[in-house]
Structure 1
Amino acid sequence: MPVTVGPYGQSQPNCFDRIKMGFMMGFAVGMAAGALFGTFSCLRIGMRGRELMGGVGKTMMQSGGTFGTFMAIGMGIRC
Protein backbone atom coordinates (compact mmCIF):
# COMPACT_ATOMS: atom_id res chain seq x y z
CA MET A 1 0.00 0.00 0.00
CA PRO A 2 1.55 3.36 -0.97
CA VAL A 3 2.26 5.97 1.67
CA THR A 4 -0.10 8.93 1.45
CA VAL A 5 1.61 12.29 1.20
CA GLY A 6 0.12 15.55 2.42
CA PRO A 7 0.13 18.83 0.52
CA TYR A 8 3.62 19.84 1.70
CA GLY A 9 5.33 16.48 1.54
CA GLN A 10 4.54 15.22 5.06
CA SER A 11 3.26 11.70 5.44
CA GLN A 12 -0.03 11.14 7.25
CA PRO A 13 0.08 9.42 10.67
CA ASN A 14 -0.69 5.73 10.60
CA CYS A 15 -3.58 4.14 12.49
CA PHE A 16 -1.56 3.29 15.60
CA ASP A 17 -0.30 6.87 15.87
CA ARG A 18 -3.86 8.16 15.60
CA ILE A 19 -5.06 5.80 18.33
CA LYS A 20 -2.14 6.84 20.52
CA MET A 21 -2.89 10.51 19.91
CA GLY A 22 -6.58 9.95 20.73
CA PHE A 23 -5.66 8.25 24.00
CA MET A 24 -3.33 11.06 25.01
CA MET A 25 -5.90 13.76 24.21
CA GLY A 26 -8.61 11.87 26.10
CA PHE A 27 -6.27 11.26 29.02
CA ALA A 28 -5.49 14.98 29.29
CA VAL A 29 -9.17 15.96 29.19
CA GLY A 30 -10.06 13.24 31.68
CA MET A 31 -7.31 14.37 34.05
CA ALA A 32 -8.64 17.93 33.98
CA ALA A 33 -12.19 16.78 34.62
CA GLY A 34 -10.96 14.46 37.36
CA ALA A 35 -9.13 17.32 39.05
CA LEU A 36 -12.29 19.41 39.15
CA PHE A 37 -14.74 16.73 40.20
CA GLY A 38 -12.28 14.93 42.46
CA THR A 39 -11.38 18.07 44.38
CA PHE A 40 -15.02 18.94 44.87
CA SER A 41 -16.06 15.48 46.01
CA CYS A 42 -13.07 15.01 48.34
CA LEU A 43 -13.57 18.41 49.96
CA ARG A 44 -17.28 17.71 50.33
CA ILE A 45 -16.67 14.58 52.39
CA GLY A 46 -14.10 16.36 54.55
CA MET A 47 -10.70 15.18 53.32
CA ARG A 48 -7.68 17.36 54.12
CA GLY A 49 -3.92 17.28 53.48
CA ARG A 50 -2.30 14.08 52.29
CA GLU A 51 -5.62 12.25 52.17
CA LEU A 52 -7.03 14.96 49.87
CA MET A 53 -4.06 14.75 47.49
CA GLY A 54 -4.32 10.97 47.32
CA GLY A 55 -8.06 11.06 46.66
CA VAL A 56 -7.81 13.73 43.99
CA GLY A 57 -4.88 11.95 42.30
CA LYS A 58 -6.76 8.66 42.25
CA THR A 59 -9.83 10.33 40.74
CA MET A 60 -7.69 12.07 38.12
CA MET A 61 -6.01 8.84 37.05
CA GLN A 62 -9.29 6.92 36.90
CA SER A 63 -11.13 9.52 34.85
CA GLY A 64 -8.11 10.11 32.61
CA GLY A 65 -7.73 6.41 31.88
CA THR A 66 -11.43 5.93 31.24
CA PHE A 67 -11.84 8.91 28.94
CA GLY A 68 -8.55 8.15 27.19
CA THR A 69 -9.66 4.60 26.48
CA PHE A 70 -12.93 5.76 24.95
CA MET A 71 -11.15 8.37 22.82
CA ALA A 72 -8.67 5.74 21.62
CA ILE A 73 -11.54 3.43 20.68
CA GLY A 74 -13.21 6.28 18.80
CA MET A 75 -10.03 7.08 16.90
CA GLY A 76 -9.56 3.39 16.11
CA ILE A 77 -13.05 3.23 14.62
CA ARG A 78 -12.23 6.20 12.39
CA CYS A 79 -9.09 4.52 10.94
Structure 2
Amino acid sequence: MLVALGPYAQFQPSCFHLLKIGFVMGWAVVMVVRVIFGIFSCLRIGIWGPALMGGIRKTIMQSSSTFGTFMAIRMDILC
Protein backbone atom coordinates (compact mmCIF):
# COMPACT_ATOMS: atom_id res chain seq x y z
CA MET A 1 0.00 0.00 0.00
CA LEU A 2 1.51 3.31 -1.04
CA VAL A 3 1.50 6.25 1.32
CA ALA A 4 1.76 9.75 -0.09
CA LEU A 5 4.55 11.85 1.36
CA GLY A 6 3.20 15.09 2.66
CA PRO A 7 4.29 18.01 4.80
CA TYR A 8 3.94 15.94 7.99
CA ALA A 9 6.65 13.39 7.09
CA GLN A 10 4.49 10.32 6.70
CA PHE A 11 6.42 7.23 5.74
CA GLN A 12 5.77 3.82 4.31
CA PRO A 13 6.93 1.02 6.62
CA SER A 14 9.83 -1.06 5.37
CA CYS A 15 9.66 -4.82 4.85
CA PHE A 16 11.74 -5.40 7.99
CA HIS A 17 9.34 -3.24 10.00
CA LEU A 18 6.38 -5.26 8.70
CA LEU A 19 8.24 -8.47 9.55
CA LYS A 20 8.72 -7.29 13.15
CA ILE A 21 5.06 -6.26 13.41
CA GLY A 22 3.94 -9.68 12.16
CA PHE A 23 6.13 -11.53 14.65
CA VAL A 24 5.03 -9.46 17.64
CA MET A 25 1.36 -9.63 16.65
CA GLY A 26 1.43 -13.42 16.28
CA TRP A 27 3.44 -13.85 19.48
CA ALA A 28 1.08 -11.69 21.55
CA VAL A 29 -2.13 -13.30 20.30
CA VAL A 30 -0.95 -16.85 20.95
CA MET A 31 0.51 -15.87 24.32
CA VAL A 32 -2.86 -14.65 25.58
CA VAL A 33 -4.70 -17.69 24.24
CA ARG A 34 -2.17 -20.13 25.72
CA VAL A 35 -2.35 -18.46 29.13
CA ILE A 36 -6.13 -18.81 29.25
CA PHE A 37 -6.38 -22.37 27.93
CA GLY A 38 -3.13 -23.59 29.49
CA ILE A 39 -4.10 -22.59 33.02
CA PHE A 40 -7.55 -24.09 32.56
CA SER A 41 -6.22 -27.42 31.29
CA CYS A 42 -3.50 -27.69 33.97
CA LEU A 43 -5.96 -26.98 36.76
CA ARG A 44 -8.38 -29.49 35.28
CA ILE A 45 -5.84 -32.32 35.46
CA GLY A 46 -4.61 -31.27 38.91
CA ILE A 47 -1.30 -29.47 38.40
CA TRP A 48 -0.65 -26.80 41.07
CA GLY A 49 2.11 -24.48 42.28
CA PRO A 50 5.54 -24.28 40.66
CA ALA A 51 4.79 -27.13 38.27
CA LEU A 52 1.83 -25.14 36.93
CA MET A 53 3.91 -22.03 36.29
CA GLY A 54 6.79 -23.99 34.76
CA GLY A 55 4.54 -25.89 32.39
CA ILE A 56 2.60 -22.81 31.34
CA ARG A 57 5.79 -20.80 30.76
CA LYS A 58 7.33 -23.49 28.57
CA THR A 59 4.26 -24.03 26.41
CA ILE A 60 3.69 -20.28 26.02
CA MET A 61 7.21 -19.67 24.74
CA GLN A 62 7.17 -22.63 22.36
CA SER A 63 3.81 -22.06 20.75
CA SER A 64 3.92 -18.26 20.64
CA SER A 65 7.38 -18.21 19.07
CA THR A 66 6.30 -20.71 16.44
CA PHE A 67 3.16 -18.79 15.49
CA GLY A 68 5.06 -15.49 15.60
CA THR A 69 7.54 -16.90 13.09
CA PHE A 70 4.72 -17.99 10.78
CA MET A 71 3.12 -14.54 10.99
CA ALA A 72 6.46 -12.90 10.23
CA ILE A 73 6.87 -15.10 7.14
CA ARG A 74 3.34 -14.19 6.04
CA MET A 75 4.02 -10.46 6.43
CA ASP A 76 7.29 -10.86 4.50
CA ILE A 77 5.46 -12.60 1.64
CA LEU A 78 2.90 -9.78 1.51
CA CYS A 79 5.68 -7.21 1.37
TM-score range, shorter chain: 0.7 to 0.9
- Pair 1:15 & 2:15 matched: yes
Q: What fraction of aligned residue pairs are identical, expressed as a percent? A: 58
1:37 aligns with 2:54: no
Once the 2 structures are TM-superposed, how far is the Cα of residue 38 of structure 1 from its aligned partner?
A: 1.1
Corresponding residue number in structure 1 for 2:50: 50
SS in 2 for 1:63: helix
SS in 1 for 2:9: coil
- Find the aligned partners of 1:9 and 1:60 in 2 and give their Cα distance: 39
- 1:64 Cα offset (Å): 1.0
Which runs of no fewer than 5 residues in structure 1 stay unpaired? none
Structure 1 ranges of 4+ moved more than 3 A: 4-8
Residue identity matched to 1:42 = C
Alignment RMSD:
1.6
What's the counterpart of residue 70 of structure 1? 70
Query: Which sections of structure 2, spanning at least 5 residues, go unmatched?
Result: none
With the length of structure 1 as denominator, give the TM-score of the two structures.
0.84
Q: Which residue identity is paired with 1:26?
A: G
What is the number of equivalent residue pairs in this alignment? 76
Secondary structure, counterpart of 2:46 in structure 1: coil
Asked whether the equivalents of residues 26 and 68 of structure 1 are also in contact (C-alpha less than 8 Å), the reply is: yes
